[in-house]
Chain A
Amino acid sequence: NAGVTQTPKFQVLKTGQSMTLQCAQDMNHEYMSWYRQDPGMGLRLIHYSVGAGITDQGEVPNGYNVSRSTTEDFPLRLLSAAPSQTSVYFCASSYTPAYEQYFGPGTRLTVT
């Protein structure tokens, strides 16, 4: 099993550009989530999904969009990048939030 994969590993965007961070898992997990990690802030939940076709907002959803058309994939879209979105983004999956989360390796995003 590949586990949780994220692409790209690094990305530099200009303010106003849009892009999609990809996340995929091959463990048949129903629950998937996106976090951002900023220095001294820990991880903050952006969006999550409890199954295909079901998504909900986390703690910091503004400026991000998600969809879940399949169990395996959970892409995160930045609609119009801002410097405040410079961060490291982690995708995670599990059977439910009550079980251990499996994290991807992260995407380091810089917005100039």
Chain B
Amino acid sequence: SQQGEEDPQALSIQEGENATMNCSYKTSINNLQWYRQNSGRGLVHLILIRSNEREKHSGRLRVTLDTSKKSSSLLITASRAADTASYFCATDRGTSYGKLTFGQGTILTVHP
């Protein structure tokens, strides 16, 4: 089964609105990463948050991590049509070195 589960599966918003995606996982982790995938392309790394961090920012992106709830969220502020893509979380588990596990992804559509 997938270690990371994203929620919602699909999100449709208007340009300028904020988009929030959530990721839950089952076992302890070393870090959690978020990736973006444009249609038909490879994945692009967005941000990495370590298990001892609670929040991280990168431009319009804000990631939070709650290890007690085994969950993370990705917030994209002031969304643009170019943000339309699939977003995946990936976890590096504490006891399985080398096995980065991806969730099923959230499909974000930003309407101009």
**Which residues of A are in contact with B by a Cβ distance under 8 Å?**
4, 31, 33, 35, 40-45, 48, 50, 56, 58-59, 90, 92, 97-106
Q: Identify which of residues 76-93 in chain B touch chain A, using a CB-to-CB cut-off of 8 Å.
A: 88, 90, 92
Q: State A97–B41 Cα separation when bound (angstroms).
A: 21
Contact A40 B42 (CB under 8 A): no
Contact B42 A100 (CB under 8 A): no
Give the nearest-CB partner of A102 in chain B. Answer: B45
Contact A48 B98 (CB under 8 A): yes
Stretch at the interface among B12-20, B62-70, B99-107: B99-107
Q: Is the interface of B mostly helix, strand, loop or mixed?
A: strand
Number of contact residues on B: which range applies? 20 to 34
Contact B98 A56 (CB under 8 A): yes
Closest 10 CB pairs of A and B: A103-B42, A100-B45, A42-B104, A43-B102, A103-B43, A42-B102, A97-B100, A105-B42, A97-B92, A48-B98
Q: State A35–B102 Cα separation when bound (angstroms).
A: 10
Q: Which of B44, B99, B104 contacts A103 (CB 8 A)?
A: B44
Residues of A within 8 A of B33 (CB): 100-101
Say yes or no for B27: interface residue by CB 8 A criterion: no
Q: State A22–B2 Cα separation when bound (angstroms).
A: 26
**Which residues of B are in contact with A by a Cβ distance under 8 Å?**
2, 4, 30-31, 33, 35, 40-45, 48, 88, 90, 92, 97-105
Give the nearest-CB partner of A50 in chain B. Answer: B98
Q: With A99-B48, A101-B45, A106-B41 as given contacts, are A42 and B88 in contact (CB-CB < 8 Å)?
A: yes
CB proximity of B6 to chain A, nearest CB, Å:
8
Give the nearest-CB partner of A90 in chain B. Answer: B42
Q: State A43–B3 Cα separation when bound (angstroms).
A: 11
Residues of A within 8 A of B45 (CB): 100-102
Q: State A106–B42 Cα separation when bound (angstroms).
A: 6
